[in-house]
Amino acid sequence: MPSPERAYTTSHEGSRVAGGSSLLGTRGHVLVVDDDSDVRDAVSAALEDGGYAVTLAHNGADALIKLSQMSLPSLILLDLAMPQLDGPDFLREMLHDPTYSHIPVVVVSGTALGREAAVTMGADDFLKKPLSPGELLRAIERALCDWDDEALAPTERQPTARERANRLG
C-alpha cells in the first residue's frame, strides 16, 4: 500500500497515481471498476473525502491490467454490466488467482441482482445504485472490518460465501 503521506491525482488514463503531500489514502486503497465515468467520478470523490486512495478502471479487462501493475488494493468496488470483461467474469477470474482472491469485493450495480446473488458469485457485499456517499463508506468499512476479522481468526469462523463458492467453482 502506498505511504499515507501521498496523495492521488487523476492521470490521463483515469487512474489515481501518487503525487502531492496530503494524508489522502490513509484508510486504504480502493479499486473502482465501472464503465460509467460519472459513477466513477462520484464514487471516487466520496472515497477520497472518506480518506481512501482510489484507482479507477473502466471495465474488468482494465481492472485486471491495473491489478497486475499496482500495489494490491484493500478492496474492489465492482459494477456488473460492463463491456469487454463484465463484473461476473472479472470476479470469477480474480477469485481463481491466489494473488487477488483474498481482496474483498463489493458489487455496486443498478441491476435487480440482490446481495444473496452477489455473495453467491463470490462478492463480499452488494449495493444497489444509486447510493449515497454515507452508504458507500459504511459498506466499505463493513467489508474491510469483516475481512480483518477473517484474517485474524480463521479457525474460529464458518467458511465465507466466497470460500464456499471457490470450493464449488
Domain ranges in the chain are 7-168
Name the CATH superfamily housing domain 7-168. Response regulator (3.40.50.2300)
Radius of gyration of the chain (CA): 15
| Residues facing 57 on adjacent strands | 33
DSSP state of 97: S
| Nearest one of 118, 106, 101 to 166, comparing CA atoms | 101
Residue 45 in this model has a pLDDT that exceeds 50? yes
* Residue 104 pLDDT: 95
C-alpha cell at 75: 478492496
Pairing of strands 75-78, 29-33: parallel
pTM for the whole thing?
0.74
pLDDT digits over 90-143, tens only?
999 999 999 999 999 999 988 777 778 888 888 999 998 888 999 999 999 998
User: Reading across the β-sheet that carries 125-128, which strands appear in turn?
Assistant: 53-57, 29-33, 75-78, 105-109, 125-128
125-128/105-109 β-pairing: parallel
